[in-house]
Chains A and B, each alone.
Chain A
């Protein structure tokens, strides 16, 4: 005998509400747990001193600098390459087997585990190119890691620009280059920026690839050839070796706050993008 549709509707609705509540409670409890344990330990000193005694005392200034500089190198390298490639693929080539292959490889490379990038970066940048454990090695490794994401999101953003824009520009005698600079880039910009911000978020949160390539030195980096420890790596080492749980939680809380800020930035851009394309 089949269930009465109204009863099955009730059951299904209850199950779905229940599952959603479980997910929300679980996820929020993780965030709140980390924040509540961490935020009380975030002091002015914590933000402005470099770690001492392996991170047991002092702050995490050098790790903040490490995170920012590794991320900056990665973004500066990956953005022109990624956006440029996206423009080349959309504007200068015709859909063909070749572009399909390129798209498929970008898609697949976006899914490669970060540890594989770390493995590559360690042997290629650190050992083979003799860049050592450095901000540069870490940044370049991360740049390769976020490159596929940037190519894909930029391509999508360029595709969503209404074809009319392009046609109008051409009909007014604009060249391809003029059209690109004056029409395509400005209209696709929010979408492109979202991709870049997503990449930045990935760089900030990454551990496996960075620990092998940027190293884990606690000193304040002085140039892009200095080794550096990022906040995520610092958290991993503090927590895993139980060096100092207070500092570990404070670092994690700071990371979550940083990622929250990055996400808010991305959301604002997405909303603008959506508003514009409609």
Chain B
């Protein structure tokens, strides 16, 4: 009473169907058995490029170890360290409140440069002037001895370590004007400031290149030397954080970062490791 037209391919379709379904089940079952043959770093996009250089160097020296570096942001780095999603969290601001319970180490200091377009004639700004620009009190370059154009102000997003350092160091209790344009990385701000003659922003000192100009702050040139001797006031720590006291591979990588070799790499990239002790 059965079997109308039968072609063998259909049974194969059935097999494939079941196969795909079981693969899908397998994925879910293995979900809990996550292997850890490497170290995962996550967090601040300001620390990320430097951590990438460190990890590249480390992997050349230690074959077979993988070090994955993720962005995400300082807050995500702190969250990732707390939850154990990442072995090492990276932050570009000091820890506060509950966060201080994490194990953390300062790997370097980084200057914060106020950058303007390379063609902008302005050379020097005072801290008050920068604050007034960001609060919206000063909105034209002519007030500062520049062109007659409106200032295009760029800031980082709420939650960024770079922004919270900038707020602490420059803004104090004053709020950043909500009309300020918001971008989500140092690189983006550098690119936009490099393109726009009327723009101002703040980025990692280590990332300043010839497309933008770092202004003098209160007459002090923004340079590594001046951050080290303390005359240039804008600097913030770069932190590595772990959920608990690090062990194994994680510890080995942190030790490498804090070793003379690691410090040399970070110095070459423009960070400041003077005064950092393992």
Contacts and interface: CB of A to CB of B under 8 A. Distances in A.
Q: Do chains A and B touch in the complex (CB under 8 A)?
A: yes
Interface of A: 52-54, 73, 76-77, 79-81, 126-127, 129-133, 136, 169, 172-174, 178, 181-182, 185-186, 215-219, 222-227, 240-243
B34 A227 contact: no
A208 to B, nearest CB: 12
Nearest to A75: B20
Nearest to A186: B10
A174 B34 contact: no
B66 A130 contact: no
Contacts of B186: 241
A185 B12 CA distance: 12
Contacts of A54: 49, 52-53
A133 B190 contact: no
A169 B4 contact: yes
A132 B68 CA distance: 12
Contacts, number: 105
B117 interface: no
A172 to B, nearest CB: 4
A267 B207 CA distance: 47
B187 interface: yes
A238 B250 CA distance: 28
Interface of B: 1-2, 4-7, 9-10, 13-14, 17, 20-21, 23-24, 27, 31, 34-35, 37, 40, 42, 49, 52-53, 56, 66-72, 79, 83-86, 185-188, 190-191, 194
A52 B56 contact: yes
A240 B31 contact: no
Give the top 6 A-B pairs by smallest Cβ distance, nearest first. A241-B187, A217-B68, A242-B191, A172-B4, A215-B70, A80-B21
A126 B66 contact: no
24 contacts: A52-B56, A53-B53, A53-B56, A76-B23, A76-B24, A77-B24, A80-B20, A127-B85, A131-B31, A133-B72, A136-B31, A173-B1, A181-B13, A182-B6, A186-B9, A186-B10, A222-B37, A225-B34, A226-B66, A227-B40, A240-B188, A242-B190, A242-B194, A243-B187
Nearest to B4: A172
Nearest to B49: A54
Contact of A241 (B9, B52, B185): B185
B10 A182 contact: yes
Contacts of A217: 40, 68-70
Contacts of A223: 35
A199 to B, nearest CB: 14
Contacts of A178: 2, 4
Nearest to B37: A222
Which residue of A73, A76, A129, A219 has the most chain B CB atoms within 10 A of its CB atom?
A219
Given A132-B34, A219-B68, 9 more contacts: A182-B7, A185-B13, A186-B10, A215-B72, A226-B68, A240-B185, A241-B185, A242-B194, A243-B187
